[in-house]
A and B are shown apart, each in its own frame.
Chain A
């Protein structure tokens, strides 16, 4: 199992932190930094190469498009990180996003005077409700989230299609204050991206500094040990799915604001992109490791690759292939690092202690 072990709070020795212990901690922290750093370097290189070839890539409009384009994927990837860290996965996010986006449009259509904050709250609540369904079913069935969320991926999407029954919602049906939300900028930065930044900061801080946030890593590292140490595993996993559903709901509302034109197919196939972004961002698919910042950077990198291929005049059909190769490279790299660290730690404990 590939695990870089950045999040595992447990220490093998029962004594108080000694000198080598602190060194070990700093080693894992350095690795974490390396992952986010290497993502930043990759991103920087990509932007640099693209800009050298075409200097309009860093023009205001292009940057704005880029930030707009990645905001929704960033929010979803951060939510997915919460889930994957606990050794689960939520494949239904694309369907939740589609359902909420369509619900938002329908809300404006049937009650034209609705202020947009109400729509936002309704959308997030609907997303959270979908999360409750996911979490509840997982608790009842006691099977991997992969199976349940594969089922709700179909079910939510089917509800969406059934409800829409071929209708489409147009931008004209939505209040302009809401649509402005999707395109407005503050000091040149799109509001959508600012929302995403707030989500990243909040989730990142929670995962790193809160007790229950650390417990999520413990659950993902070794569920049995987490349970024995008194962590309410079932409740935490349930909460994580509700939180991820709510974030997917938020993303759905933002999707509606950004694109305006909606049908029941919105967000189809997004789930794999989201998982890909998290994996590229260093979130280990088997839990216990990874950060929200990494996942967000992964999402930005995937989006940037798409637009820079277009600028570099590379056939846009290459984009998906590049994304796939990147995923393979990312997990391969993780594996290599994990093996190195394991070897080094083994060497140390053989010497000292």
Chain B
């Protein structure tokens, strides 16, 4: 079994007419980053010109604040999907970290700084449990993280019940939504960009990063080239958990509320953003820049439509359609091109 990490390899990869088609496909995917960045620029321009209040500093601040959790989690998720695995428990880890932070603040009497460190460590432990099940016991990550999705969400309700902890110090809750002086960009964007830079360098400029792609393409081949597949994947899940811990802290402080249902359903949005950013669900393909552009595109579209008075819940049509279009269009275009190409060839042979 060459490719059993997340799903089987594409069902129809015909070798015979394949050479031309595959080349077009690869070309298209190679430029997917450019397509997404272009779509993002277009969306911002159109929204700025047509939607009232979109191009204001205040809106930019809220837009970015809303996107921060998504962007943070998308970083490790990108790496995990590139290795051919998936982590669906991220939103539940955020929720559990958030309620534990609330419970610790309520009852332990520790300083908030120490609590934050503990929460990030706890997130790493939660991720390590995922990693242990996936790499230690050799179980499919899809099934494992559906299980821990339910488990961690359940535990987060066990920790606080339906209560909320809201009495965090005002200077902390104000600090996370503060802007960089003189701009309308929130301060939290800075650590986000730094972390994105670290992930980008690791993924695209180090041997370890190349190894992730190798694993996504072929676990066994990666093993034979001397990459420790299991250990690397384990640590990816740990990192994912730790980042979820960070997001849990941010979420709690931003809304000044630690609740069991914090960030419910975020996992599917994160996966959507990652796939929209051009990462292949089969693993082995994708880039971090595309993912960040995908996250921003999702956010800009939602925000603009919301300002244009579209029902927030109906906006999920946009999310869904974007995701489907992002996987269907490249294939459909490649199909049409291949057909045209063949017809032209037949034509030239006939004449």
Contacts and interface: CB of A to CB of B under 8 A. Distances in A.
B190 interface: no
Interface string B298-335: 00000000000001011111111111100110011000
B65 to A, nearest CB: 22
A264 to B, nearest CB: 7
Given A146-B6, A153-B320, A324-B154, 14 more contacts: A1-B140, A148-B327, A150-B275, A151-B320, A152-B324, A154-B268, A154-B323, A155-B321, A223-B8, A227-B11, A320-B154, A328-B148, A331-B139, A335-B138
Chain B interface secondary structure, helix, strand, loop or mixed? helix
A18 B142 CA distance: 39
A154 B328 contact: no
Nearest to B5: A1
12 contacts: A137-B328, A140-B328, A148-B327, A153-B268, A161-B314, A162-B314, A264-B313, A285-B142, A317-B158, A320-B153, A323-B150, A328-B144
A350 interface: no
B7 interface: yes
B260 interface: yes
Interface in A279-310: 279, 285-286
A142 B148 CA distance: 29
A35 interface: no
Interface residues of A, number: 54
Contacts of A87: 7-8
Nearest to A287: B8
A141 interface: yes
Contact of A335 (B137, B158, B332): B137
A142 B151 contact: no
Q: How large is the interface on B (under 10, 10 to 19, 20 to 34, 35 or more residues)?
A: 35 or more
A106 to B, nearest CB: 16
A321 B158 CA distance: 8
B130 to A, nearest CB: 10
Chain A interface secondary structure, helix, strand, loop or mixed? Answer: helix
Given A87-B7, A143-B327, A150-B271, A157 B316 contact: yes
A99 B158 CA distance: 32
Interface in A159-189: 159, 161-162, 165-166
A158 interface: yes
A151 B155 CA distance: 28
Interface in B3-27: 4, 6-8, 10-12
B217 interface: no
A146 B7 contact: yes
Interface string A128-149: 0000000001001111101110
